[in-house]
Amino acid sequence: MEVDRADGRNPNQLRPLACSCSILHRAHGSASWSQGDTKVLAAVYGPKAGTKKNENPEKASIEVIWKPRTGQIGKPEKEYEIILKRTLQSICILTINPNTTTSVIIQVVHDDGALLPCAINAACAALVDAGIPMKHLAVAICCCSAESGYCILDPTKLEEQKMKAFAYLVFPNSILSVLPEGSSLVQGEPMEHGIITSVTHGAMSVDDYFHCLERGRAASAKLSDFLRRSLQSKLPGDLSKAG
């Protein structure tokens, strides 16, 4: 039941990842994230004061502006904006800066499949770069399910169209804590196995979904490590500059 992938990857293999932070000068935080040919640029402005319509006296609000590569934004982009906004709201600590707005601007540079997961990863790195307080990081991944219940990770655009169904999954990054209870189990599962966001397209059996979930969790550990490493590599440099 092997599915041959056009680029010769094995089913669990991700495309090469790249992440660079602080690439825009005017933004408070920015990051570019690429998975193979899919590349997304994220910029964060804020927390800033302002009398926007979504202002909340008890919580900070987050707005997401999605810029497609070409043309106007349509329904799919509007949906991406809402999913991204809700996902970021659930990982940020909103009570620290009440009555402020943080803008996250997502610019799609190239779309070659798994666009929303790529944007979530980029936004997450940009929020860290801007120093927005967060509960934990999040990593997003796309899993495809074929007719035979076969599952592949991080599909290209062509694979996405060919496959029966696919799921975008977002998991929390494992928390490294000095406290022993920091990495506690919730309902008998480690905390990083909980789903923050799940969006599926196409019909699949329930078992296939859980299969995707399992593969996604395994791969998200690798993604978590990569995200953590690329954020850490920039920290010592900053500290030496400050000192």
Q: Give ∠ CA 183-29-107 in degrees, rounded to 5.
A: 105
Q: Which residues pair with 33 in a beta bridge?
A: 19, 40
Helix (H, G, I), strand (E, B) or coil at 53: coil
Spatial distance between the Cα atoms of 152 and 137, rounded to a whole number of angstroms: 24
Cβ 15 to another protein, closest distance in Å?
25
Indicate the residue among 20 and 198 with the shorter CB distance to another protein: 198
Spatial distance between the Cα atoms of 93 and 113, rounded to a whole number of angstroms: 30
Indicate the residue among 109 and 134 with the shorter CB distance to another protein: 134
Cβ 85 to another protein, closest distance in Å?
8
Residue 174 DSSP one-character state: P
Cβ 127 to another protein, closest distance in Å?
14
Cβ 52 to another protein, closest distance in Å?
13
Cβ 126 to another protein, closest distance in Å?
17
Closest alpha carbon to 171 in 222, 208, 209: 222
Find the binding residues for another protein in span 55-84 (CB under 8 A): 75-76, 78-79, 82-83
Indicate the residue among 186 and 242 with the shorter CB distance to another protein: 186
Indicate the residue among 37 and 77 with the shorter CB distance to another protein: 77
Locus of tokens 């070409």: 70
Q: How far is CA 98 from CA 8, 48, 235, in A?
A: 49, 10, 27
Find the binding residues for another protein in span 171-230 (CB under 8 A): 172, 186-189, 191, 193-206, 208-210, 213
Task: Indicate which single residue of 165, 219, 223, 227 sits in contact with another protein (rule: CB under 8 A).
Answer: 165
Question: Do residues 23 and 31 make contact, with C-beta atoms less than 8 angstroms apart?
Answer: yes
Indicate the residue among 144 and 204 with the shorter CB distance to another protein: 204
- Reading the block at residue 124, the tokens are 């997450």
**Binding track over 94-133 against another protein, x by CB under 8 A:** ----------------------------------------
**Binding track over 5-44 against another protein, x by CB under 8 A:** ----------------------------------------
Spatial distance between the Cα atoms of 131 and 144, rounded to a whole number of angstroms: 34
Question: DSSP characters for 81-104?
Answer: HHHHHHHHHHHB-TTSSTT-EEEE
Q: How many residues bind another protein (CB under 8 A)?
A: 39
Indicate the residue among 108 and 116 with the shorter CB distance to another protein: 116
Spatial distance between the Cα atoms of 18 and 41, rounded to a whole number of angstroms: 12
Q: How far is CA 125 from the centre of its chain?
A: 9
- Using CB under 8 A as the criterion, which residues of the chain lie in contact with another protein when the complex forms? 75-76, 78-79, 82-83, 85-90, 165, 167, 170, 172, 186-189, 191, 193-206, 208-210, 213
